[in-house]
Amino acid sequence: MHSDRNLIESRLKRVLEERIRPAVYPESVPMEVGIWTAPDEPVPVAEGIAAPRTPISVGARWGAPWGTSWLTVSGVVPDAWAGRTVEALIDLGFDKNMPGFQCEGLVYRGDGSPVKGLHPRNQWVRVASPAIGGEEVLLHVEAASNPVVLDYHPFVPTELGEKETAGSEPQYRLERMDLAVFDETVWQLVLDLEVLGELMAELPVEGARRWDVLRAVDRALDAIDLQDVNGTAAAARAELAGVLATPAEPSAHRISAVGHAHIDSAWLWPLRETVRKVARTTANMTALLEEEPDFVYTMSQAQQYAWIKEHRPEVYARVKKAVAEGRFVPAGGMWVESDTNMPGSEAMARQFVHGKRFFMDEFGVENTEAWLPDTFGFAGGLPQIIKAAGSHRLLTQKISWSQVNSFPHHTFWWEGIDGTRIFTHFPPIDTYNCSMQGREIAHAVRNFKDKGRARHSIAPTGWGDGGGGTTREMIGKAARLRDLEGSARVRWERPAEFFARAEAEYPDAPVWVGELYLELHRATLTSQARTKQGNRASENLLREAELWAATAAVRAGFPYPYEQLDRIWKTVLLHQFHDILPGSSIAWVHREAERTYAAVAEELTGIVEAAQRALAGDGSGGGEVVFNAAPHARAGVPAGGARPAGAEPGGEACAVRPREGGGFVLGNGLLRVEVDGRGLVVSVRDLASGRETVAPGRAANLLQVHPDFPNMWDAWDVDAFYRNTVTDLTDADDVAVAVDSPQSVSVRVTRSFGASRAVQTLTLAVGARRLDLDTEVDWQETEKFLKAAFPLDLHADRYAAETQFGHLYRPTHTNTSWEAAKFEACNHRFVHLEEPGWGVGLVTASTYGHDLTRTVRPDDGGTTTTVRVSLLRAPRFPDPHTDQGVHRFRHALAPGATVGDAVAEGYRINLPERRVAGDAEVEPLVSVDHAAVVVSAVKLADDGSGDVVVRVYEAHGGRVAARLTPAFAHAGVQVCDLLERPLAEETEEVAEPARGGGVALRLRPFELRTLRFVRPVG
């Protein structure tokens, strides 16, 4: 037989596009439209509906960037349409290829009650079924003219990302405002043909099934009268019924579809717009749930539920009803889908505490899974945190974006730094915005890496980011794919149902140990430095506020600010969202974040100061009390306690003298530091060991500038070729002594480069085995990358980088492509390198990104291991003015440091002592007798009981037995999960020793434990 396959497939494409799809709405009449534009920010619904309207016609332009226009559309159902299904078609000027990235609308009835959202792939509003002739239609549309920031030519610098610079030019043109008859038979035919056409394209040409489908499609097209599609659609459907009814093979892959709309809590739009995106999407989804009995929808991010509750209570009532019915499923149990690399230990824990508690309080639902489809890689400490929050599963998808290495599993056990394992899945469909296209389903089947052992995967289905979620077309396609030969079997399922099924069939899934590193978006560890500094400062202040407020509450009856701390935590957690903290949002988002962090700092500082005043005494004697919030004692002040200021710290006096050949030599009896005439550190000698820290012939604290123009994703990415070109900043404007006293000496170095200026202060303090480095940069570069290099005379095949509740090790070599791909990585407060018996720590106060390389010196055969901290970038998309202005960074180099020293120095630089007028001694609420056990939080229990909650973890990477001693009256101790719920079986292992009054702790490497001390009532 001669092949006519291409002919029929081309025929299908044209007939479907030009004749059948237009026939879904065979008749229409225009509606009248009036418009009112809000003068500034969005207004309440009642105000928008009541505002006067001005007539506007289809084809007219509307909507300045970030504006809100209220449209009223009205019309009358023609008498001839009586008994038929009628819908309003409202096209605000959509581009169907940009769901979620342009204008959107929320439709209200005349009484102000919300109906559904309007989006590029969802422009219809059901008016009547069956319709009544002469029925009046009145709808209001709150239309947001969000500008297109990410256009067809992506990553082009634009001023549209900031309201003040976006201009006032109308962004959109009204395209259609009609009442129309909806022909469901034709609509069903469209779905039949789409599913079969997409299936054909994925089937092998030599297979019989493809030809069976082709012949059925050919007969269906013959059955259609192109001059009367509506009258012949049923006949065409009849020709397709047979091939649509043929069941799938018994071995077919199983796909659990779950309705989904991944909505970034901020990205190419500000936070206030996300509130409305969520309302539009949830209005859509609750309406769809009422119409489709098999459909299940899931939404993560407790913050987004809280927004609807506050701003759109009518929509929230619908959500609560659907949740109660088990159809609208809260997922993930986190406050937001946060970044997981940069949030600190407690912040990562509180993401789950606040997220899970919200779902439990509001819906009586406790999640078992973390839901993070779009997060840019996962820190090695996360499995333990997930488990400690009462969950044991993780879904992600972003790892499939890795540029170099294909991750070897889709379903696996992920083991964290402490040995905790959680069951993990990332969908082989390779999208969290599945639209039920045949190519997506076929890709999931082909791509699934666990064939022969497992056959289940998940498909989050729906348009995200304000695209409106799952559509009725997606549901219609899924129904046809439920049991269809040649396709995977598709069924709607809740995430928990999928995970239970997947875990049951694959309990011995392979294990992946350590971080889930994303080989992409590495520059998010550096972009938008102010946002990152605001996050770190907020985390530190929250620790202090909880510690000192709890101490003052127990010691002095200070009113513990439960509600205030709860609110502030949620604000900080929101800003850890995976496009805010990583620095990949528009300028508006980061401007607001900077303002928010300043307000948070002011409020938390007020709590800290009030609590410390309550503890410090009256101060009438003119003395000072030194408070130490760090988990290690320093200068005679215990961890978590305070002492009256006494003598200056002991040790050999500091000295500074000129260096031969230029520069200065600094010493304190522990270290001798040489700064040459260029202002570079050419020697740091550890006098106790006699070891030199800086590699021979090299200079440390060397600022280096690279060109930085990645192939795409400007704010997100740094590509490996950036290293090919580097400028060392060796010319100094000035090198001079800044401080010369017995207690500290410092040298100030000033440099000019490009249009920028850097001032660095290098300080050596009495009794300190570290060199403190303070860098202030007036950054005026674009598309450049600034780093500070520390070439070390040290040979090691791995190094430690701090992460949540511990540290992980990464290789210093690039033996494999997996290691080579980690050319930019994350640390929290320190990185540490060590030869047996001697190591070096580099600690940071607010930076996260770093890189590490090593070379062998040809002259002496020694190894130079260079650590470089990443300071600033200057990408131009999506914020064309990223990081312009003045920044300050603090680091410290600690020669001779053990990993324990690095832990302590990291806390020291992040939690400086505070001095308060007074004369009291403040005993810590708790003390620990082992340096490896770090107290990460001291607070009062969230339930307001007055119980004291203490969280500890093993920080050195070894097994430890220690004693934790509370210094307050208590009636017992409970081991708890992160939500402060007792774990009875573990509490039995924690005994109250007869002598000493402390709690015996036995911790595995990096194990965290939460203890709740029950305080007597009254």
Residues belonging to the active site: 374
Rounded distance, CA 667 to CA 662, Å?
16
972 DSSP β-pair partners: 1014
What is the rounded distance in angstroms from the CA atom of residue 401 to the CA atom of residue 1001? 42
Distance in angstroms (rounded) separating the CA atoms of residues 326 and 494: 9
> Residue 196 and residue 662: Cα distance in Å, rounded?
79
Asked if omega into 247 is within 30° of 0 (cis), the reply is no
E strands, 48-156, are 54-55, 61-62, 67-76, 86-91, 104-108, 114-118, 124-128, 136-145
Q: How many CA atoms lie within 13 A of 430 on its CB side?
A: 18
Sole residue written with tokens 């719920």 = 981
Question: Nearest-CA neighbor of 703 among 722, 731, 684?
Answer: 731
Distances (CA, A) of 59 to 22, 137, 143, 177, 704: 20, 22, 16, 10, 54
Instruction: Decide: 427 and 458 in contact? Cβ < 8 Å.
Output: yes
Name the token pair of 578: 């995976």
The residues, any chain, with a CB within 8 Å of residue 354's CB and separated by 6 or more, are 302, 335, 566, 569, 570, 573
SS3 category, 660: coil
What is the C-alpha to C-alpha distance for residues 186 and 611, in angstroms, rounded to an integer? 70
Residues in a beta bridge with 684 = 673
User: What's the rounded Cα separation, in Å, for the pair 469 and 104?
Assistant: 13
The string of DSSP codes covering 450-478 is: TTTT--EEEEEESB-TTS-BS-HHHHHHH
Q: 1015 with 947: CB under 8 angstroms?
A: yes
Q: How far apart are CA 725 and CA 717, in angstroms?
A: 17
CB atoms within 10 A of CB 571: 16
Residues 6+ positions from 991 with CB-CB distance below 8 Å: 999, 1000
Q: Which of 732, 748, 752 is nearest to 740 (CA)?
A: 748
Nearby residues of 666 by Cβ (< 8 Å), 6 or more positions away: 654, 655, 656, 672, 673, 674, 675, 745, 746, 747, 762, 764
Structural tokens at position 148: 């297109």
Count the Cβ atoms, other than its own, within 10 Å of residue 212: 17
**Percent of residues in the chain assigned helix, strand, coil, to nearest 5:** 30, 30, 40
Q: By the 8 A CB rule, do 804 and 779 touch?
A: no
**How many other CB atoms are there within 10 angstroms of residue 375's CB atom?**
24
Peptide bond into 878 cis (omega under 30): yes
CA distance readout (Å), 241 to 64, 233, 486, 489, 523: 49, 13, 15, 18, 52
Would you call 793 exposed, middle or buried from its count of C-beta atoms within 10 A (0-12, 13-18, 19+)?
buried
526 membership: H or E segment, kind and range = none
Q: Which residues of 645-662 are buried (b: 16+ CB within 10 A; e: fewer)?
A: beeeeeeeebbbeebeee
